[in-house]
Each structure stands twice: as C-alpha cells, then as structure tokens.
Structure 1
Amino acid sequence: MNPKKTHHSRRTLLPGVQRSSRFAFAYGLLLGLSVLGVCAAYAMWGPADNAIQKLFSTQEIEVLNEQLAELQTKTTELQDEISRTNELVKLDKEARSKLTLLITNLESENAKLKEDLAFFEGFIPGSLQGAISLKRLQVNKDTVPDQYRYKALVIQGSQRPEVTLNVQVLIKVLNKGESSVIVLPNAETSEDPQFKIKLTRFSRVSGMFSLPEGSRLQSVEMRILEAGAIRAQSTIKL
C-alpha cells in the first residue's frame, strides 16, 4: 500500500513537468492575466487618447478604411454599369429615331406612289388617240405666308414623238372686294423651267406662286399650250 501512495504523491498535474516548473507556469500565467487586466483597465478608465486607446482606434480605422475601399470599388463598378446601360439606352433611342424617320420617309414615298397611281386611274393607253390630257391638278398652301404650290400630270395617249409644251397658270384672286387674274409666266418668268415641259408619254408639272399681300385665292387654272394653242386645261376652285 505504501509504495503505491509514494508513487501517487510523485505524480504531477502536467505529465513530464516537474513541480518547480508547474509553479513557474502558474505564476507566469497569473502575471500575464494581471498585465492584460491592467491594460484593459487603463484603456477603459485611463486618460483620454492614451496609447492603448489609440491602438484600438487605429485598428478600427484600418478596418473602416478597408470597408470604405471595398465600397468605393463596388460603387465604381456600379457607376460603370450604369454608364454602359445609359449608352445602350442612348443607342436604342438613336436607333428608334432613325427607324421612325425611315418609316416616315417610306410612308411619304408610298403616298407619292399612290398619288401617281391615282393620276393614271381611268387612263388606258391609246384611248386618248393622240390627245394630250391634264390630270389631277392640285394646289396647296405653303408654309410661307401667301405662297402656294401646284402640281399636275400631263399625259399623252399615243406613241407620238417627243413634243415641247408650255405651261400657263391663271390665278384668280380677290383683293379689297375686286377680282383680278394673275397670269404666269409673266415677262420676268417667261424662261422659268417650271413653265416648259418635254412630253413623250407623261410628265409631272409642278411649281409655286405668291399672292399679293391681303389677297385671297379664289381659283387656279392650268393650261398646256403647244405652239400657242391650248391642248389641255384644268381648273380648281379654292
């Protein structure tokens, strides 16, 4: 029994560590905890801006700076993404604008084609037996005040050779209760190309005129002349 007790009394708390070493370890651990406690107390209740407080503040600032840098990076990436999105939206708007303009031009061209088709409605080649016909006279007000545009189609119903024709426009206006007629071309515009055409099969006639200030347009008559003789005419009242 005694040998067992003696053997038990020689055992240490830490295997392989002698009793003196055990006491040294305990004292060191206690000393370390005491130092940490003193440092913590000094940091909490010591003078403001002491070294330990500064140490903790510096660490916190470093963490905040890292977080700020990360947020700035994400913000930059987001701004780049927004810029790319805005560019795509801008390109989409430009494409839509070009497409709208193209559609408008196509609609305008289609309207002109329909108008040309309307000119030929009821026209059968050879049915006019060589006569010259004036079709679909139109007069429209221009954007400029007191200015008008006219157009018509001259058709020759047979395979006659090319013929040179003159266009004459008679404009009836009302000014201060009195009617008068303006004849175009006049002496100043007699050589204007809009009043001369060379006709083989068909030819479009178009031009413009201005009214005297204060005048009201009543009617427009167009005449197609060959060697001074009237070959076709049409009148539109406004």
Structure 2
Amino acid sequence: MTISAPKMTIKRHLPWPALALLWAVAIGLAIAVAVWTYELGRNNLPGLQGDAGEQVETLSEQVKKLSAENERLQSASNASQNELKIAQTAQSQLAAQVKNLEAENNRQKEDLAFFDSLLPTNLGAPGITIQRFKAEVAAPSQVRYRVLVMQGGAATQQFTGNLQLSITVWQAGKSAIINFPETNSSDLARYRLAFKYYQRVEGLLNVPEGATIKAVAVRVLDRGQVRAQQSVDL
C-alpha cells in the first residue's frame, strides 16, 4: 500500500518595500506620460495654448464686436435702400410731371395756332373744317383721339351735327372697319356737335382683343352728309 502526499506549490512573495517601490515607479511613469501627452497636445494645437478662460473671453468680445459691426452695416444698407427707393419714386414722379407738362405745352401751342386762325385776316372760307385731328394707340386694344372742328368765315349761325370715327383693323387674316358710334349706341351724346366757332372732342375707342390697328378716320356729318373728314395711319 502506497501513500502519496499532496503536491505543494511554493509562491515567492516580494517584500513589501520592493512592491511599494515598483508601484511608485509605475505611477511616476504614468504621470510622466500624461504630462508629456498634455504638453505635446498643447504645443501642437493652438486652441490649447494659454489660459482657456481668457481665450473664451477674447473670442466672446470679438463676436460681440462683429455682431455690432454687422448691425451697423445692416442699418446703413437699409437706409441706403430707403434713400434709393425715395430717389426712384421722385424720379418717376418728375418724369410723369415732365411728360404732362410737354403734353400741356403742345396743347397750348395748338390752341395758340387755332386762336390765331380765328383772327379776322385768317377766317378762311366759310364752311366746316377739321382743324386738328390726332389719334394714337393708347393700349393694344385702345385708341385715343382728339379732334378740333371749326366753322370758318364770319359765322353767324350755330352748327349742329355729329362726329363719326372709323378704325381700320386687321383681324383673323382680313381687314375690317369698326365705326363709332355704333348703331343704337347709348353714348351718342359724346359724338354730337353744337358750336358757332369751334368745338374740341376727345376720348378713347376700344377695339376687339387681338385686332391690329391700322388707321383711324374722322368725319363731320350734317344730317347724314359728310361736311369734313380726315384720316391718319397708325
């Protein structure tokens, strides 16, 4: 009979002073590595240099200054835009006034020429004449006209009659004539003439959309008979 004894393992333990020394060396190495890493990162990254609080404060001041400058520039831009709009509005108003003054000046010249024709030496032959006739396209489907009808000679009786206008248009591939006033029109009064020396008539005429205006003619009628007529091409 054999009796076997259990195996025994003998572990060697370092003395505690040596173990403490090893731990101190390890901790020192870890601290050294951490310090070296921090210094390396601070030297390579500008954002980590200096005191972080001071940098944040400096950046905040710069942001405030830039914001204030941006607001100032925005205010100046808004003021400039407002001034530009005011100047453009004033320019448009002045242009409209100049246009109106030019039209009024031309009208006064026409009136002056007309009244000059009324002088005794310029009365002309007796009869009805169209002294002035102007027509222009005011819009794609609209014509503006002005007519000045005069009775020449030593007029002693009042003339009564009617004005008739005709517009020649090109529509749907063919020519057509539109007469004003139309039959049974409700605005016949605007075409009536009643004067001793002269009468001015002006207004707007509408044509169908898509029609191309070619010419406008005007006639003075006396009981259906043509006493005077003129036409203009547009």
**Same fold by TM-score, threshold 0.5 exceeded?**
yes
SS of 2:100's partner is: helix
Offset from partner CA, 1:42-71 (integer Å, 9 cap, x none): 9x956639xxx7981111221221222222
Tell me the matched-pair count: 185
Letter of the 1:78 counterpart: L
Offset from partner CA, 1:66-103 (integer Å, 9 cap, x none): 22222222222222222222221221122112212222
**Alignment equivalent of 2:56, drawn from 47, 52, 61:** 61
Residue 109 of structure 2 corresponds to 114
Residue 148 of structure 2 corresponds to 153
Offset from partner CA, 1:128-176 (integer Å, 9 cap, x none): 587544312345456445x655432123455757x3612143759799x
Residue 136 of structure 1 corresponds to 132
Whether 1:220 and 2:217 are equivalent positions in the alignment is yes
Q: Assess, with a 3 A threshold, how the Cα gap between structure 1 residues 57 and 184 changes in structure 2: closer, same or farther.
A: closer
Distance 1:142 1:71 in 2: 55
Whether 1:193 and 2:189 are equivalent positions in the alignment is yes
Q: 1:162-173 maps to which residues of 2 (within 5 A)?
A: 163=158, 165-169=160-164, 171=166
- Would you say the 8 A contact 1:132–1:231 is kept in 2? no
Whether 1:79 and 2:74 are equivalent positions in the alignment is yes
Distance 1:209 1:78 in 2: 53
Distance 2:144 2:84 in 1: 41
Distance 1:95 1:183 in 2: 42
SS of 1:72's partner is: helix
Residue 101 of structure 1 corresponds to 96
Structure 2 residues not aligned, in runs of 5+: 1-31, 40-47
How many angstroms does 1:196 deviate by? 0.7
Whether 1:205 and 2:222 are equivalent positions in the alignment is no
- Would you say the 8 A contact 1:222–1:234 is kept in 2? yes
Distance 1:193 1:72 in 2: 70
Indicate the percent of aligned positions where both proteins have the same amino acid: 22
Offset from partner CA, 1:216-237 (integer Å, 9 cap, x none): 9788351242xx3869423437
Q: TM-score, normalised by structure 2?
A: 0.55
- Would you say the 8 A contact 2:165–2:219 is kept in 1? yes
